[in-house]
C-alpha cells in the first residue's frame, strides 16, 4: 500500500537521509525529571548525598498514570531542584553527579535475557509483559507522550463520547501500527533507525501486538527511504507494510496515519486511536520495549536527533538526563545564535534553558538562526482563505483565530477549536503573518482551564 496524495496540508522539503545514531558519552552531571510524560508526577525516593547506581529507582508513584524514574548513571545525588521540562514548565528533578563507573544496580547487573526470540514473547501472558514495561517506566517517545502501560491497558470504562443510546460502543484492538515516519522532519529519530531491524526490534513489535491483542500489524514506512531491512522483517512475520509520504505535512501525525491505513476516524477532540480499535507506536518506542525485554534492564538512553542550523546535524544515542546544550555542542553547536525548538520546525516548542535535559518524551531539537526566526505581525485577517484550504482537520482557522484573539473562547469551542491539532499549517500559509498557533493554543488552554474550574 502507498499513501502519498492528499488535498490538504502543506508540502515540505524531503528530509535528508539519516545516518545511524552515534553514541554520545554520558555527561558529568545528569538531570532526571520526576515527570517525563503526560500524567502524574513521581515522588523522589532518594536524598541529596545518597549514592545511586544505574537502573536504581529515584522516583516512584502509586498513581496508575505515572511511571517509575531510574538513575541513568552511577554516582551521587547532588540535589533535587526544579528544572525546565521540554514544554518549559518547572519540574522537580534529581541531579546526579556521574562517577564514570556506569555501575548497574546489583540485581540488574546480574539480570539475564528474559526473552531472546519473538516466538517466546508470543507465548507469554500479556500481563507479564505489561508488568515489565511498567516497571521499566517506558513512555511513548513524543512531547507530552503518555506512559506506555497506560496506552496498552484497556480503560476501566469507555469515554462518554463512545455511548450511543445508553450502550457503550467499544472496539477491541485489532490493529497495531508501528510508525517509522517522523511527525516533524527533519527531526528524524525514527528515520535513523530504519536500518536497525534486529531481533530486539522484532521482539518489541511482537510484545506490543501480544499485549494489545492486535492480529493485524502494519509497519508505516517513509516513502522514498531505504526500508529494505524492515520490509524483510515484516515479510518474515507476515506483517503488512505501507508507505507514507514524508513531505506532505502533517499526514505523518498519529490520527491521520490511523485514518490513512484503516479508514477509521479517531473521535475529536478527546478521542484516542484505541477508541477505533488501533494502537499506534513510534518505531523507537518499539525498540525500547524490545530492549527492556531482552536485557531485563530499564532504558537509560534515547535516540535523539539534532537538525537545522547546526554545524554537524546528527542523530545521537544520548543518556537520559543529558542537558540539551551538551548535545548541541556535540553537533558542533549552532552555526549562528537563534532559537532552539524541542521537536521539529512546525510543532516544536521553543526552549529557553540549555540545561533542560533529554527525557523519555523528547525526540530531538531543531535549531534556527536569528535571521530565519519568523516574526509574526499584529495585522488583521485579510480573509484570503489559505488557512482554510490548508487545515488538515477541516476547521476554519481564520474564524477561530479571531474568536480567540478577542477572547470569545466559548464561541470558539462551539466551532470545534478543541479539534485543532496545532500542526501550524495555518500560520505557515498566512500572508498576513498572524500568530495563528499562538491564538489557537491560548484559546484551548483558556477553555480547558475554565472547564476545570467549573
Pick from 223, 214, 309: nearest CA to 262? 214
Tell me, yes or no, whether 375 lies in a domain: no
Q: Residue 56 belongs to a domain with what CATH number?
A: 2.40.50.100
Contact 14, 249 (CB under 8 A): no
Query: Do 322 and 250 share a structural domain?
Result: no
d(CA 173, CA 46): 39
Which region among 372-376, 417-421, 429-433 has the lowest average model confidence (pLDDT)? 372-376
Give the model's pLDDT for residue 160: 53
Which region among 164-178, 332-346, 398-412 has the lowest average model confidence (pLDDT)? 164-178
Q: Give Cβ neighbours of residue 273 (< 8 Å, ≥ 6 apart).
A: 177, 254, 255, 258, 266, 279, 280
Query: Do 393 and 332 share a structural domain?
Result: no
pLDDT at 416 over 90: yes
Query: Do 213 and 138 share a structural domain?
Result: yes
Pick from 31, 26, 23, 48: nearest CA to 99? 26
Domain tally for the chain?
4
DSSP code at position 4: -
Give the model's pLDDT for residue 329: 94
Query: Do 322 and 287 share a structural domain?
Result: no
Query: Do 431 and 286 share a structural domain?
Result: no
pLDDT at 3 over 50: no
Q: Identify the band that residue 399 occupies on the pLDDT scale cut at 50, 70 and 90.
A: very high
Tell me, yes or no, whether 175 lies in a domain: yes
What digits encode the pLDDT tens for the residues 106-155?
888 776 667 888 889 999 999 999 999 999 999 998 877 889 998 888 76
Contact 95, 29 (CB under 8 A): yes
Domain membership of residue 426 as a residue range: 386-453
Give the model's pLDDT for residue 17: 77
Domain boundary among 230, 263, 295: 295
Give the model's pLDDT for residue 155: 64
| Average pLDDT, rounded, for the chain | 90
Contact 27, 98 (CB under 8 A): yes
Query: Do 105 and 118 share a structural domain?
Result: no
Tell me, yes or no, whether 379 lies in a domain: no
Give the model's pLDDT for residue 125: 92
Query: Do 317 and 256 share a structural domain?
Result: no
Please calculate the CA angle 219-201-226 and round it to the nearest 5 degrees. Answer: 55
Query: Do 326 and 272 share a structural domain?
Result: no
Query: Do 280 and 135 share a structural domain?
Result: yes
Give the model's pLDDT for residue 2: 41
What digits encode the pLDDT tens for the residues 251-278?
889 999 999 999 998 888 888 898 889 9
Query: Do 104 and 81 share a structural domain?
Result: yes
Query: Do 253 and 214 share a structural domain?
Result: yes
pTM value > 0.75: yes
Q: Residue 333 belongs to a domain with what CATH number?
A: 3.10.20.600
Tell me, yes or no, whether 161 lies in a domain: no
Tell me, yes or no, whether 321 lies in a domain: yes
Give the model's pLDDT for residue 86: 79
Query: Do 172 and 144 share a structural domain?
Result: yes
The 3-state DSSP class for residue 160 equals helix
Domain boundary among 77, 92, 109: 109
Amino acid at each position: 500500500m502507498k499513501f502519498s496524495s492528499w488535498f490538504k496540508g502543506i508540502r515540505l522539503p524531503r528530509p535528508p537521509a539519516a545516518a545511524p545514531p552515534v553514541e554520545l558519552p554520558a555527561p558529568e552531571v545528569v538531570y532526571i525529571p520526576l515527570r517525563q510524560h503526560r500524567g502524574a508526577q513521581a515522588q523522589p525516593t532518594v536524598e541529596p548525598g545518597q549514592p545511586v547506581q544505574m537502573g536504581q529507582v529515584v522516583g516512584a508513584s502509586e498513581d496508575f498514570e505515572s511511571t517509575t524514574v531510574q538513575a541513568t548513571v552511577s554516582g551521587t545525588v547532588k540535589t533535587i531542584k526544579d528544572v525546565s521540562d521540554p514544554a518549559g514548565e518547572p519540574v522537580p528533578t534529581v541531579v546526579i553527579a556521574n562517577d564514570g563507573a556506569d555501575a548497574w544496580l546489583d540485581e540488574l547487573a546480574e539480570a539475564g535475557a528474559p526473552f531472546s526470540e519473538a516466538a517466546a514473547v508470543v507465548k507469554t501472558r500479556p500481563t507479564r509483559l505489561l508488568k515489565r514495561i511498567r516497571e521499566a517506566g517506558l513512555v511513548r517517545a513524543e512531547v507530552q507522550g503518555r506512559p506506555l502501560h497506560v496506552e496498552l491497558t484497556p480503560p476501566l470504562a469507555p469515554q462518554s463520547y463512545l455511548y450511543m443510546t445508553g450502550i457503550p460502543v467499544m472496539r477491541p484492538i485489532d490493529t497495531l501500527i508501528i510508525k517509522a515516519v517522523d511527525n516533524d522532519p527533519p527531526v528524524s529519530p525514527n528515520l535513523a533507525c530504519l536500518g536497525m531491524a534486529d531481533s530486539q526490534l522484532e521482539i518489541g513489535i511482537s510484545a506490543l501486538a501480544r499485549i494489545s491483542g492486535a492480529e493485524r500489524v502494519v509497519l508505516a514506512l517513509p516513502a522514498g527511504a531505504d526500508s529494505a531491512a524492515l520490509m524483510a522483517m515484516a515479510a518474515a512475520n507476515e506483517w503488512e507494510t505501507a508507505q507514507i509520504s514524508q513531505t506532505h505535512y502533517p499526514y505523518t501525525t498519529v490520527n491521520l496515519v490511523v485514518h490513512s491505513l484503516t479508514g477509521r476516524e479517531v473521535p475529536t477532540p478527546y478521542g484516542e486511536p484505541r477508541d477505533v480499535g488501533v494502537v499506534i507506536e513510534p518505531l523507537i518506542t518499539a525498540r525500547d520495549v524490545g530492549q527492556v525485554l531482552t536485557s531485563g534492564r530499564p532504558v537509560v538512553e534515547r535516540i535523539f536527533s539534532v537538525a537545522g542550523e547546526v554545524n554537524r546535524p546528527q542523530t545521537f544515542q544520548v543518556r537520559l538526563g543529558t542537558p540539551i546544550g551538551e548535545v548541541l555542542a556535540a553537533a558542533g553547536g549552532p552555526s549562528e545564535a537563534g532559537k532552539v525548538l524541542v521537536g521539529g520546525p512546525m510543532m516544536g516548542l521553543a526552549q529557553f534553558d540549555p540545561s533542560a535535559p533529554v527525557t523519555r518524551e523528547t525526540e530531538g531539537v531543531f535549531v534556527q538562526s536569528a535571521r530565519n526566526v519568523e516574526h509574526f505581525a499584529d495585522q488583521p485577517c485579510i480573509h484570503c482563505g489559505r488557512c482554510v484550504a490548508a487545515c488538515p482537520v477541516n476547521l476554519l482557522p481564520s474564524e477561530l483565530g479571531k474568536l480567540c484573539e478577542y477572547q470569545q473562547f466559548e464561541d470558539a469551542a462551539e466551532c470545534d477549536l478543541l479539534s485543532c491539532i496545532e500542526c501550524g499549517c495555518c500560520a505557515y500559509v498566512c500572508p498576513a503573518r498572524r500568530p495563528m498557533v499562538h491564538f489557537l493554543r491560548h484559546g484551548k488552554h483558556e477553555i480547558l482551564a475554565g472547564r476545570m474550574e467549573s
